[in-house]
Every structure is written in C-alpha cells, then in structure tokens.
Amino acid sequence: MMRDDALAPVVAMMLILAVVVTLFSLELGLSPGPQAAGGGRASLAG
C-alpha cells in the first residue's frame, strides 16, 4: 500500500492536468457555438 505522502503529488498532478485540459479546451472554443464545428482546430492545423 502506498502512503498518503507518496500519493499526494500524484493527486496534485492529476488536478493540475485536469485544469490545464479544461483551459485548453476552452481556448479551442469547444463550447456550443459557431466555432464548435472546428474553427479553433482549423487554425491550429494550419
């Protein structure tokens, strides 16, 4: 069994990753709207 001390950094990293992924998806414009069809992704692809 892992101790809580060893598990804390993993939980913190997962929380940070969740926040980063959420912000990244918002930056791409994945919210419902005209840009949801791929407007943000098209500019990323070139």
- The number of angstroms, rounded, from the C-alpha of 16 to the middle of its chain's C-alpha atoms is 9
Where in the chain are the domains? 2-36
| pTM, to two decimals | 0.47
The length of the chain, given as a count of residues = 46
pLDDT band of residue 20 (cuts 50, 70, 90) is: very high
Q: What whole-number distance in Å separates Cα of residue 10 and Cα of residue 6?
A: 8
pLDDT score, position 1: 58
CA–CA distance, 28 with 35 (Å, rounded to integer): 9
